[in-house]
Amino acid sequence: MTHSAAVLGGGIGGLAVARYLHRAGWHVDVFERADALPTSGTALGMWPQALDALDAIGAGDRVRTLGSPQHRGSLLRPDGSVIGTIDNRDRTAYLLSRPALLATLAETLPDSMISFGTPAPVLDALTDRDVVIGADGLRSPTRTHLFGDKFEPRYVGATAWRGWVPGHRDTVSETWDADALFGITPRDCDLVNWFACIRTDAGHPGGLDFLRSRFGGWHADVRAVLEAATPDAMLHHDLYESPALPSYVSGTTALLGDAAHAMAPNLGRGACEALVDAVTLGRFLTADTDIHTALRRYDRTRRPATRRLVRGSRAMSAVAMTGRLRPLRDLTVKLAAGLA
């Protein structure tokens, strides 16, 4: 008997779990509100755990070919002096854009599997499916339906700007100061990726002129990137994290990715964990004949691990943008990097 799944959301986690189940012979329908896959977006870091997940769905080699390997990174002060250097040669990560990753995930799926421009049906209309997977993001209607609005995401007290400019870069840097940070990374398509984060009230209206003023006294790399930046190659949004859910499953419905555990971006693990969720869920669903048992195993495996990362991302944000504790922060980073 062929098993069936409805995947609500055609983002990274949704396409990855669809690909896993499709390869295992399941019938899968993906419902995606957007009219098509995105054609622009900023870079994502694929850490080793995410690469393992991509290998499990036959996409790892393609991501390694498209992406920019990340071997080394520097943590800097606003004047450009070095706090610490991180060597990733034993744990190489790859940076590539969200559109490139999504296109890779979708490329082997049948065209008829993804219904673009189609809001997800209500859960009550999907009772004929063996499993329903809520991969519908930060403001997940599936999560609200299952657990109510008391688990809505919480603003973390910081706003982010992300963008890309023409150029080439081999190394990663992140510059830390009180209440602000600025990162510059490689990415695919002969572009340089950048991101800025500032502690402020939600809904801050600032654009490029604000950023150029806010970071105008920082080192030359930051200023050069912002001078090259354009409004049409920039995203601006507040940052949120999810409160701890009592479970990632209810009945025969499972949540994954941001729908289950949205986190601040300071560890660079959001997209990675969506991929790991997807493959973990796919493995359990295809290994167990009982759907409820598979979903309980998924929840027991992924909920503790991802909650630790939500807390860790929040802690890293506090460390990076600390004010009074900067000397202690810098010493700790140097000791951790073996530089002291």
Query: Per the domain annotation, does 282 fall within a domain?
Result: yes
What is the total residue count of the chain? 340
Residue of 156, 242, 233 whose CA lies nearest to 199: 156
What CATH number corresponds to the domain at position 195?
Answer: 3.30.9.30
pLDDT of residue 332: 60
Residue 334: its pLDDT value, please? 60
Q: Are residues 54 and 198 in the same domain?
A: no
Beta strand 114-116 with 93-97 is unpaired
| Side-by-side strand order, sheet with 172-177 | 82-87, 72-76, 172-177, 180-187, 191-199, 154-166, 234-241
Q: What is this structure's pTM?
A: 0.95
- Do both 63 and 184 map to the same domain? no
Measured on CA atoms in the order 63, 268, 131, 103, is the torsion positive or negative? negative
Domain range holding 283? 4-73+89-154+245-320
Q: Give the pLDDT score at 63.
A: 97
Question: Are residues 189 and 163 part of one domain?
Answer: yes
On whether both 54 and 115 belong to a single domain, the answer is yes
Instruction: Examine residue 339 and state whether it is found in any structural domain, yes or no.
Output: no
- Confirm whether 82 is domain-assigned: no
- pLDDT tens-digit map of 4-29: 999 999 999 999 999 999 999 999 99
Q: Is residue 315 part of a domain?
A: yes
How much is the pLDDT for 340?
Answer: 38
pLDDT at 331: 63
The answer to whether 223 touches 292, Cβ cutoff 8 Å, is: no
Within a domain: residue 97? yes
**Distance (Å, whole) CA 193 – CA 181:** 14
Do residues 305 and 262 share a domain?
Answer: yes
User: 264 and 124, same structural domain?
Assistant: yes
Residue 327's pLDDT is 75
The CATH number of the domain holding residue 24 is: 3.50.50.60
153-166 per-position pLDDT tens digit: 999 999 999 999 99
Last residue of a domain, one of 211, 239, 267: 239
16 lies in the same domain as 161: no
Which regions in the chain score pLDDT beneath 70? Answer: 89-90, 328, 331-340
Residue after which a domain boundary falls, among 219, 239, 259: 239
Same domain, 197 and 298: no
Question: How many domains does the chain divide into?
Answer: 2
Query: What per-residue confidence (pLDDT) applies to 339?
Result: 43
Do 19 and 138 fall within a single domain?
yes
> Is residue 52 assigned to a domain?
yes
In terms of domains, do 121 and 264 share one? yes
One domain for residues 114 and 212: no
Q: Within this chain, do residues 42 and 100 fall inside the same structural domain, yes or no?
A: yes
Residue with tokens 């012979």: 25
Residue 79 in any domain: the answer is no
